[in-house]
Amino acid sequence: MLIQELRQRINNETYADAIISAVLDCPRTQFKGTGKISDKDALLCEEIIKNWKVGVDLAYERGKWRFMDMPLIINQDVMPPVHESETLVNAIVNRHGNKESMLELGTGCGIIALGIAKNTNTRMVATDISEGALKVARQNARLNDVDVEFVQSDMFKQVQGRYDLIVSNPPSSPTSKLDKLAQDGQLNMPRVSREAGEDGFKFHRIIVANSPAYLKENGVLAFEICYDGQKTKDMIIQSPAFDVQSMETATDIKGDEKAVFARLCTPIVGQTKQQEIIR
């Protein structure tokens, strides 16, 4: 099958190329134009688009994956990357690529931090609570010759300084959902990378409440949108620290919102860091 035919069948060239690159384990430049793909690999790509768990299983089986043409090491300490994260990374690079410093909270295997650092000159700091995840992220940074400073931290607890932009794709699965998956033997990803309290928004609340104390004047907060973008936006709207009029989103090729950005209202004068929120 021609790869162009597969793109048309998937009906989303950006996501199709991301999945094809990962399945074939090669840069996208190697299969553009009239390139061909086996029927077996084509079917696998279509299955991944329909059910991401297929891609997760494949990444764990191989011990590797690709994201934005970067080869990645993957193991059971991290979640394999989702292709939708490219929308967030590209939006940051295109809209905020001139920023001096950025912080990512909950980096996992490192894809967001690596994608930003590879395509900008920003000072990139990335945190995660899991030492296992940070080990993988550091390996991926070395593998792709990308300079990122990694810090083990539970949200903001070990974060120092202020940044021009803070970004996160935090855990967003309700505890009850993960309990059910575990009971059914279907929880094959690290729970710490997914669990986020009763409603799945525990970490969104922590980040919205605390990020103003770690942002520079006119700093920007960015979230990847998972399944309830309106709730994410509502949390930002309800915070007096952010300028609602400045809120903007980034959409994929289909017009679905995949990221949200908001800027601080005013310079932060005398604000104390709200570590008591982080429990």
Whether 14 and 127 map to the same domain: the answer is no
Interatomic CA distance for residues 141 and 279, integer angstroms: 30
Whether 12 and 102 map to the same domain: the answer is no
Q: What secondary structure does DSSP assign to 223-274, as a single string?
A: EE--S-HHHHHHHHHT-TTEEEEEEEEEE-TTS-EEEEEEEESS---SPPP-
The pTM of this model reads 0.90
Whether 99 and 66 map to the same domain: the answer is no
Quote the mean pLDDT of the chain.
88
Whether residue 279 is predicted with pLDDT greater than 50 in this model: the reply is no
Whether 127 and 46 map to the same domain: the answer is no
Average pLDDT, integer, range 199-210: 91
Q: Which residue has the tokens 């793909």?
A: 37
Of 85, 227, 229, 104, the closest CA to residue 155 belongs to 104
Residue 80 lies in a domain: no
Q: Which of 39, 73, 107 is the last residue of a domain?
A: 73
Q: Which of 17, 51, 73 is the last residue of a domain?
A: 73
Whether 48 and 136 map to the same domain: the answer is no
CA 112, 115, 119, 124 torsion-angle sign: positive
Determine contact, residues 232/204, Cβ cutoff 8 Å.
yes
Q: Using DSSP, state whether 168 is helix, strand or coil.
A: strand
Whether residue 82 is predicted with pLDDT greater than 60 in this model: the reply is yes
Whether 115 and 212 map to the same domain: the answer is yes
Whether residue 274 is predicted with pLDDT greater than 50 in this model: the reply is no
Residue 41 lies in a domain: yes
Comparing 83 with 268, the larger pLDDT belongs to: 83
Q: How many CB atoms lie within 10 A of CB 199?
A: 14
Percentage helix, strand, coil for the chain under 3-state DSSP, each rounded to 5: 40, 20, 35
Among 31-40, 48-57, 68-77, 96-105, which stretch is predicted with the lowest mean pLDDT? 31-40
Domain count, the chain: 2
pLDDT at 278: 44
Residue 79 lies in a domain: no
Burial of residue 236, with CB atoms counted within 10 A of its CB: 0-12 exposed, 13-18 middle, 19 or more buried: buried
Whether 156 and 226 map to the same domain: the answer is yes
Q: What is the pLDDT of residues 130-180, one digit of tens each?
A: 999 999 999 999 999 999 999 999 999 999 999 999 999 998 777 888 888
Residue 156 lies in a domain: yes
Whether 110 and 189 map to the same domain: the answer is yes
Residue 96 lies in a domain: yes
Write the CATH number for 202: 3.40.50.150
Whether 13 and 132 map to the same domain: the answer is no
Residue 239 lies in a domain: yes
**H helix or E strand, kind and range, residue 66:** strand 64-67
Whether 136 and 259 map to the same domain: the answer is yes
Whether 111 and 174 map to the same domain: the answer is yes
Q: Which of 53, 73, 93 is the last residue of a domain?
A: 73
Write the CATH number for 33: 1.10.8
Structural domain span for residue 7: 3-73
pLDDT at 89: 97
Q: What is the pLDDT of residues 85-96, one digit of tens each?
A: 999 999 999 999
pLDDT at 166: 98
Whether 247 and 139 map to the same domain: the answer is yes
